[in-house]
Structure 1
């Protein structure tokens, strides 16, 4: 932990504005970088002659490394200078981007995305730490609002920029945008103070077991190669290890808390479905509606992305007024409605695809807004911070599995007739994929019902907080 005097230190107003301008720019670049590749996947798959399962590795590898690195940066922040961690992260992002621009082989492209993720996750994790460590409590809301604005803008611009750049200059140039991140390094080096720190012990073995297990399972699903099956045992070894480790990579008590475990499950499924929708929908527009112009593809998804992002303010107010649990239920309902609509009617018109995309994205925002509120209310502050870090891990690991599994279903479940009786078109593999997501949304509903029933039986209602994290 940092010394108390450093925790209470705060930046001057002019410095704070410049610092958050840099954080805003980096957050915008990271979110755009995450979202714009989805519309380019059909072009990338065509250039490298990839199946949907293989192309899913572009997204799942990024999400997996992003998730684990974000937790790692949070833990390293007590042992290393924030300015140096951010500098390392921005350099990784730039190096990965340069490699991606000149990737002439699929494995180089995946490697570039992995290096990008290792750098991009730094701003996600450390931006929150900077706010809580150096910004006075009464101004933290405004500081976080600037970051939220960058996220909203990034998710809106991502599909549009991805489509235009891919269509007119080639997907390789999508990487060029992220190189701009290195421009902020002097700002961090100059403004962030030198911190006193303690050399906290890092659970390297736990990290290795976790990475080995997750990567093995993802590669097994993506390649169907049985050689990766033994690697899954790493997950069991990880669990055994953190139960005995002095400073475990993830606190086992957090995972043993049933209420928190149910919430983690709901969030895992939410990111699973949302990332799968973002991966499959551009492929559906290409295959079913024959949209070969990638710029047009980005323009189609742009309104849906920006509208769902703008809805975050209304959803935040709904949490304050109606309570987080009701908003989460609405979100799960939206995910079910969106995936069923895709599975049943996604072939009929682009308008239906857009409406379903907006509904699904709104459901995603509902759940990701409501869950942190419940965690912060249910746990003491010290445990809540640990749980939020683990929550971020669940989010992007869920996204990685969502993309991988949906790619596998697209490859393997091409039947003579769609399982959904409302689908009357070729390309029934898309209907099957969305139907799988629909059933997974039902699982989220079961988790919600069990969680709600558990709390009612104990007569311990969730006290709804007035402000989100």
Structure 2
């Protein structure tokens, strides 16, 4: 019996509600500590680079973990994986709550990330496994809504907590997720994939490749780049000679999958500018406080979360292509307008950002749904795990380039009609992002043609 039909509709709905709720808390945990970095740095007398590792270490382990859990989901019960992940996250939260020094704090965040990574991986796998293609878009829309809302509300909740309590109280919030374990174990089935042996050498080489690449992006070191090339070469060699490789090469020979993944990466990189660049614009150009900038960003994220399920319905009824082109158009309008109005009234920018946040949420829905349809049942776990990995890697790359663009302080304006007193460097970035969106649209058209040709053959 097909897994998608073996679980009753009522149970599937309850499963998605609890999954979405947990995703909100997980996403909050990712962004809350960004607000707390100044307080942590002051307490432990840390340099900016040291405080940065509180975030960087979390993101690196998180990105690696998403892929690992995706692979494990092809072989083990989802209820076992999510139980293990939530327990690990709770353990890391307890260590962080009691952390009295910087090294212990970093260890706490690493353990948190090792557990939390199970959630975005399963957020893509559960809809694919338990929902039919005709209803999958709505389910992915719910998970996207949870992630979007959690990312938006995290800095606001952190700001409220930090006004009355110390930063380590932020570790209390993730502990709430432990309450979800009995519910997951009740509603998730006992289905599991094949029991073939895991290629641990391949897994370690993949981890080394991902970590070295993330470090290259953040540190810009030639030594790290050489290590990345060596690890990548060793990983490619490993999956070619091993009978049961960690990632089967046939996955990358699937042109529909690889083109979709590349297209998603470009869009995800552009979308990352919204939570990354917007607070900098509000603080540095509009001179708002960090807490106030979070409030100005919140309406867009809230509306995006509310509309995420609607986007899923559009994908289910009118097709993924309709939703994808709608999001591309919204991105283009948002970035185009911001290239004109960067530095204008914060209220005007807030309204424009609503378009971008809606596009960001719907883009993930459209591309996750598109990608899931290119995968066989045996490839769903690792295929969707790589999807989430690409999201983090693309975001890291985009963040690095945006940071360097802001540091360049060029007086040249890509948009000659930008006539605000300040914000010229931001306007230039939004022009570049508009070009990236146009390239994304072209690539997505190629994806559609590749998929149609594959079906016709």
* TM band (smaller chain): 0.7 to 0.9
C-alpha contact 1:60 1:401 (8 A) present in aligned 2: no
Q: Secondary structure at the match of 1:348?
A: coil
Alignment of 1:379-398 (within 5 A): 379-383=375-379, 386-398=382-394
Residue 121 of structure 1 is matched in structure 2 by: 117
C-alpha contact 1:222 1:408 (8 A) present in aligned 2: no
Residue 228 of structure 1 is matched in structure 2 by: 224
Using the alignment, how far apart are the partners of 1:162 and 1:291 within structure 2? Answer: 17
Structure 2 residue 325 is the aligned partner of structure 1 residue 335: no
Please point out which of 131, 156, 171 is paired with 1:160: 156
Q: Secondary structure at the match of 1:229?
A: helix
TM-score if structure 2 supplies the norm length? 0.80
Using the alignment, how far apart are the partners of 2:75 and 2:430 within structure 1? Answer: 44
Using the alignment, how far apart are the partners of 1:402 and 1:278 within structure 2? Answer: 12
Residue 234 of structure 2 is matched in structure 1 by: 237
Residue 364 of structure 1 is matched in structure 2 by: 360
C-alpha contact 2:25 2:173 (8 A) present in aligned 1: yes
Using the alignment, how far apart are the partners of 1:133 and 1:378 within structure 2? Answer: 14
Moved more, 61-70 or 15-24: 15-24
Using the alignment, how far apart are the partners of 1:131 and 1:369 within structure 2? Answer: 11
Structure 1 residue 27, shift from structure 2 partner? 2.5
List runs of 5+ in structure 2 lacking aligned partners. Answer: none
List runs of 5+ in structure 1 lacking aligned partners. Answer: 463-469
Structure 2 residue 171 is the aligned partner of structure 1 residue 175: yes
Residue 465 of structure 1 is matched in structure 2 by: none
Distance 1:133 1:344, change over 3 A: closer
Residue 315 of structure 2 is matched in structure 1 by: 319
Q: CA RMSD, aligned part only? A: 4.2
Structure 2 residue 409 is the aligned partner of structure 1 residue 444: no
Structure 1 residue 171, shift from structure 2 partner? 4.6
Deviations 1:368-417 (A, max 9, x none): 2222333344454445565333322322322233333333433x422244
Structure 2 residue 65 is the aligned partner of structure 1 residue 72: no
Using the alignment, how far apart are the partners of 1:57 and 1:68 within structure 2? Answer: 16
Q: Secondary structure at the match of 2:272?
A: helix
Structure 1 residue 265, shift from structure 2 partner? 0.9
Alignment of 1:92-171 (within 5 A): 92-101=88-97, 111-126=107-122, 150-151=146-147, 153-155=149-151, 157-169=153-165, 171=167
Using the alignment, how far apart are the partners of 2:299 and 2:141 within structure 1? Answer: 22
Residue 349 of structure 1 is matched in structure 2 by: 345
Using the alignment, how far apart are the partners of 1:174 and 1:148 within structure 2? Answer: 23
Structure 1 residue 75, shift from structure 2 partner? 3.0
C-alpha contact 2:93 2:172 (8 A) present in aligned 1: yes
Aligned residue pairs: how many?
454
Using the alignment, how far apart are the partners of 1:328 and 1:139 within structure 2? Answer: 17
Structure 1 residue 23, shift from structure 2 partner? 4.0
Structure 1 residue 278, shift from structure 2 partner? 0.7
Residue 407 of structure 1 is matched in structure 2 by: 403
Residue 87 of structure 2 is matched in structure 1 by: 91
Please point out which of 255, 266, 269 is paired with 1:269: 266
Deviations 1:106-153 (A, max 9, x none): 776555433322111223334666677789999999987875664465
TM-score if structure 1 supplies the norm length? 0.78
Structure 1 residue 425, shift from structure 2 partner? 3.9
Residue 283 of structure 1 is matched in structure 2 by: 280
Using the alignment, how far apart are the partners of 2:135 and 2:260 within structure 1? Answer: 29
Using the alignment, how far apart are the partners of 1:10 and 1:219 within structure 2? Answer: 42
Distance 1:61 1:182, change over 3 A: same
